Structure 1
Amino acid sequence: MKRYLLASAGGAGLLWVLCGLLPVKALSIVERTDTNLSPEADGSSYQEIDVHDSNAANNVASKLIIADATNQDQTNEDLDNNSAANSSPSITAQSQNSSQPSKALDQVTSVSQLSDVQPTDWAFQALQSLVERYGCIAGYPNSTYRGNRAMTRYEFAAGLNACLERVNELIATATTDLVKKEDLATLQKLQEQFSAELATLRGRVDSLEARTAELEANQFSTTTKLNGEAIIAAVGASGGAPGTSDPNIMLVNRVRLNLTTSFTGKDLLITGLQAHNFLGGATGEGSLQNSLGLASPILSSSSARTSFEPQFPGLNVKDLSSVSANSLQLYKLLYIFPVSNKLTLFAGTAAETSDAFPTITPFYGEGQESISRFASLNPVLRVSGGTSGSGLASAAGFIFNISPNLDFRALYGSVNANLPAKSAAEALPGVSTTPLGSGLFSGSNVIAAQLTFKPSRSIDIGLNYSHSYHEINILGTGLISGDIGALAGVAAGTPVTLNSVGGTVTWQFSPKIAFSGYGAALFVDDSSNNVNAATTFTSWMVGVHFRDLFNAGNTAGIIFGQPLFRADASGAAVLTPAGENRATPYHLEAYYRFKVSDNISITPGAFVLFNPEGNSRNETTTVGVLRTTFTF
């Protein structure tokens, strides 16, 4: 018996190497557990490739982008890679993330399962013997064998080890008649020749098992992963409204911790915590845009905002209570679960529209990509606080995968679902201290939908529609000062209805260059019986995104467009508010993110506002940002 055990890697291994037959089950284990176990001849090792690093390094976070539960076999870890790099995890499966690394090899029981192995092949009988007699051969998930692929000595040792274990099993179960003497003699010779590689492989496996045991013993949860992002940025600006002085350079921060939990392996519970030191409150006092004189008189909505600034800093907009700087907040609570191969549902009490809808544009990434609020998302996604940065809405919806290149998503969101009754007190004439109303199905709400499709490998398109009702006269985007008082000349307490349409397109011109742009139109009508007023807002953006610019992992963007602007007004609504000179606003932005390490990046950038807030009286304004992002 001792002799058999010493020789137990088998004629299976010999035939395998003589016939040039490559994959074995042990190799798949090596590839999945430790890339360093299978180095290539040139010293490189297997590694997964992030095919959409720009968005991955962004959204939630990031950015962690979460793959659809029904498409988990086709997407990379958008809720892990992107969540560490992304400020907030998302249930979005970016259509660009279609190219994926090979999965683990699957055991086969018959040679007929391998589509690229034919009975006429010179190695067919040898492979048939290995599969059906010894059972130590595996194929790829697409039922191919790839027998012509070159291999390393480490890979051969891994396969030899697998066959050794199989022969040991045969001997232990008294089926030694299946093992020929000739095979055992050959195996003994092979084992002697590869003794060094086998010892190295076993030593590495033992080390890996010890490390795995230590991780399992010290992990805080068997179902939950923790990742986070910390942003520290210096922000300065010049220009602004007439009579204002340039604000001082300020130092701001935002920290997010994201817990992603799976109970079945296909579902996902996202819990996000954040703290930041942005100021604003009900009057916008202490914000950069307020110091420039470009903010709305209520809140701090403005085109001078950075991408990583919450929409309502220093304020709980539901009841107008104050929120102190760096206080801990729950900004994300969302559960995603599949109900069939094509249908996934999601629901949560702290959610945003961008959690469910693919952003399409590569400029999205609050901690990694564009530095302005304008450049990163289509305004239709931001309507009704859809990207407030504080998980403003309670929402529920679905993702329907029509085909691999086409899906439809929709959600209903209520920003006041946790309020049982509307306050009787008034903050302003006609505006209560619960300005968004109360209840899940009353007061302010939004119904949003997106059709996402990929007509070719290089083009991604997203079409958006949103229908909103607001208890007060706002857009809820946070993009311009006219966001507050959307119907200019109409009282702040006037309820409004919004119908918003938009589209976003990205063309991957080359592996490292992408062209992207969006267009949007927001149609605002009063919903009261007291006035008759309507206003149309339009916005567009075009840009070029560079990847691996000057060095691997570095990205850059150049963006130009028109922020939201009143294109039309009728009835009691005014096209140009009193005291303004109407002029079309423009936005020009450039940034460069360079990767210091896998977990640290620095992004210097600036954006210039021409005719800020659509008023030529305002000076051309420049906002400069130096952003450092830590992901973990």
Structure 2
Amino acid sequence: MKLFQRLLVAPAALGLMAPMAANADITSVSNESEVIEARVDGVEAQLDEIQAGAFSSTTTMSGKAAFVTGYVDDDTETDSDKITFNYMYQLNMNSSFTGEDLLYTRIKTGNFDKGGRFADKGNGTYLSATKDGSADALKVDKIWYQFPVGDSLQVWVGPKIENYYMLASAPSIYKPITKQFALGGNASTYGSSTSPGFGAAYTQQVDDPSAGRFAVSVNYTGKGADDAKSGILDDDAKEMFLTKVEYGTPQWQVSAAFTSKTNGESYDGYYHTKAGETYSKDLTSIGLRAYWKPETSGSVPQVQVGYDVASVDDAAVGDPDEMSAWMVGLGWTDLFVDGNRAGVAFGSRQAATSYNGAGSDPAEDNTVWEAYYTFKVNDGVSITPAIFGGSDVEADGKDVNGAVVLTEFKF
């Protein structure tokens, strides 16, 4: 660093030599050298002050692109089995100002039609790789700031965040193809839509990294809190409060989460009634999760299970007042070939199990499933053929099935 600084100040030092040469008081080369050295040291000191007061951060960027080719066969829609070709593109920027904090920004785009075949939350064919409704527009998709308080507490705050990012650890280790199997079952407990929010997570410190430890996470997200109509913690806001308590090791974990959705938070995409309605009543939900993974990869799979049960406050007569969902996911790493992986999941999407008064949900006994195998071409490219399907998945009891080839480029 000193060499670099001297290279920077050398021109200034040379500029100082001319007036000194004309100075009659300097009669020897040794005296001139001492004066030059003193002035160079002075310039270095000033450079050190500038560097100490300058804005400093470390920013890294990564990203991925996904090509999706496939079809969905929906037995109630005309020409629903046509093959389509879509893309998603994502940039992740991570900035740190102290070495322990994080400013995360995600920029994302894609050309999946909102509500289209691979963006249909009602059918369960919404893909994890989908970016819907963007119409090729490059937008800030997520942005938040995260920082530690002491050794055990982590804090988040941001104008675009979801509740499952503000957790001590993820509730699921299963890697899904369709989003309905994300988070151990994408039901009503986890998976708030992108909103302003804040949260904190406490993690017990243990001397042995393989030992069990407790962790507690609490967070808030407010849909519409970024405009004047609702605001944060406002009576008219569509809010979601989540608390997760977990215990486990790097190999296994059990957790329970409690969620309260208030003031009109809809359940769009999570369950469907015989008429396909969504509702604006308050809701409380409990999500139970557990996972286990073997010590070595190979033929023994990782196991993920999830169960959600929810109730609607003050449900109107003829509306659903209770609902549930469950899933089981199996995952294999380094299956057959090092770097390749596979996954199989099945379960039941969230559906009404009870009505206030007369009523029943044709989707109450729905079943959904998926299976895939990922070929690792190299460190940056993978190809994943996958199949998926379901029965009685929506209000009219229709069946769906589909297949995709997902090609991902990571950089």
TM-score interval (norm. to shorter): 0.7 to 0.9
User: Are the structure 2 counterparts of residues 354 and 582 from structure 1 closer, same or farther at C-alpha, using a change threshold of 3 Å?
Assistant: closer
**Matching of residue 330 in structure 1 with residue 109 in structure 2:** no
The residue number in structure 1 matching 2:41 is: none
Asked if the contact 2:112/2:118 (under 8 Å) is kept, the reply is: no
Instruction: Output the TM-score relative to the length of structure 1.
Output: 0.51
**Residue from 291, 308, 330 that aligns with 1:520:** 308
The residue number in structure 2 matching 1:411 is: 219
**Residue from 173, 180, 189 that aligns with 1:362:** 173
* 1:363 aligned partner, one-letter code: Y
Structure 1 residue runs without a partner (length 5+):
1-220, 315-323, 365-369, 422-437, 488-494
* 2:85 aligned partner, one-letter code: L
The residue number in structure 2 matching 1:276 is: 110
**Matching of residue 375 in structure 1 with residue 181 in structure 2:** yes
Instruction: Output the TM-score relative to the length of structure 2.
Output: 0.77
- C-alpha offsets along residues 462-487 of structure 1, whole Å, 9 cap, x if unaligned? 22111011426x214x3455597345
User: Are the structure 2 counterparts of residues 601 and 250 from structure 1 closer, same or farther at C-alpha, using a change threshold of 3 Å?
Assistant: same
**Matching of residue 303 in structure 1 with residue 124 in structure 2:** yes
The residue number in structure 2 matching 1:613 is: 394
CA RMSD of aligned residues (A): 2.6
In 2, Cα distance between equivalents of 1:587 and 1:546:
20
- C-alpha offsets along residues 381-429 of structure 1, whole Å, 9 cap, x if unaligned? 765861x4xxx211111011134421111101111112113xxxxxxxx
The residue number in structure 2 matching 1:251 is: 85
The residue number in structure 2 matching 1:420 is: 228
**Residue from 78, 93, 97 that aligns with 1:263:** 97
The residue number in structure 2 matching 1:288 is: 117
Q: Which has the higher strand share?
A: 2
**Matching of residue 535 in structure 1 with residue 327 in structure 2:** no
Asked if the contact 1:558/1:590 (under 8 Å) is kept, the reply is: yes
Asked if the contact 2:155/2:199 (under 8 Å) is kept, the reply is: yes
Q: CA deviation at 1:615?
A: 4.4
Asked if the contact 1:590/1:606 (under 8 Å) is kept, the reply is: yes
Asked if the contact 2:283/2:310 (under 8 Å) is kept, the reply is: yes
* 1:588 aligned partner, one-letter code: W
Asked if the contact 2:172/2:304 (under 8 Å) is kept, the reply is: yes
* 2:282 aligned partner, one-letter code: T
The residue number in structure 1 matching 2:155 is: 345
In 2, Cα distance between equivalents of 1:496 and 1:535:
10
**Matching of residue 625 in structure 1 with residue 393 in structure 2:** no
Q: Which has the higher helix share?
A: 1
What is the SS of the residue equivalent to 2:256? Answer: strand
What is the SS of the residue equivalent to 1:354? Answer: helix
* 1:447 aligned partner, one-letter code: F
What is the SS of the residue equivalent to 2:180? Answer: helix
- C-alpha offsets along residues 89-136 of structure 1, whole Å, 9 cap, x if unaligned? xxxxxxxxxxxxxxxxxxxxxxxxxxxxxxxxxxxxxxxxxxxxxxxx
In 2, Cα distance between equivalents of 1:268 and 1:484:
41
In 2, Cα distance between equivalents of 1:501 and 1:550:
38
**Matching of residue 602 in structure 1 with residue 383 in structure 2:** yes
In 2, Cα distance between equivalents of 1:550 and 1:234:
25
Asked if the contact 1:354/1:381 (under 8 Å) is kept, the reply is: no
- C-alpha offsets along residues 130-174 of structure 1, whole Å, 9 cap, x if unaligned? xxxxxxxxxxxxxxxxxxxxxxxxxxxxxxxxxxxxxxxxxxxxx
The residue number in structure 1 matching 2:267 is: 475
- C-alpha offsets along residues 438-483 of structure 1, whole Å, 9 cap, x if unaligned? 21122201101111211x55321222111011426x214x345559
Asked if the contact 1:371/1:625 (under 8 Å) is kept, the reply is: no
- C-alpha offsets along residues 160-211 of structure 1, whole Å, 9 cap, x if unaligned? xxxxxxxxxxxxxxxxxxxxxxxxxxxxxxxxxxxxxxxxxxxxxxxxxxxx
The residue number in structure 2 matching 1:399 is: 201
User: Are the structure 2 counterparts of residues 271 and 541 from structure 1 closer, same or farther at C-alpha, using a change threshold of 3 Å?
Assistant: same
- C-alpha offsets along residues 303-356 of structure 1, whole Å, 9 cap, x if unaligned? 22222224xx32xxxxxxxxx511011111110111211112110000012212
The percent identity for this pair of structures is 24
What is the SS of the residue equivalent to 2:313? Answer: strand
The residue number in structure 1 matching 2:288 is: 503
In 2, Cα distance between equivalents of 1:524 and 1:623:
33
Asked if the contact 1:542/1:560 (under 8 Å) is kept, the reply is: yes
User: Are the structure 2 counterparts of residues 553 and 601 from structure 1 closer, same or farther at C-alpha, using a change threshold of 3 Å?
Assistant: same
Asked if the contact 1:229/1:255 (under 8 Å) is kept, the reply is: yes
In 2, Cα distance between equivalents of 1:588 and 1:540:
12
Give the paired residue count.
343
**Matching of residue 463 in structure 1 with residue 249 in structure 2:** no
In 2, Cα distance between equivalents of 1:629 and 1:598:
11
Q: CA deviation at 1:251?
A: 1.0
* 1:415 aligned partner, one-letter code: K
Q: CA deviation at 1:260?
A: 0.4
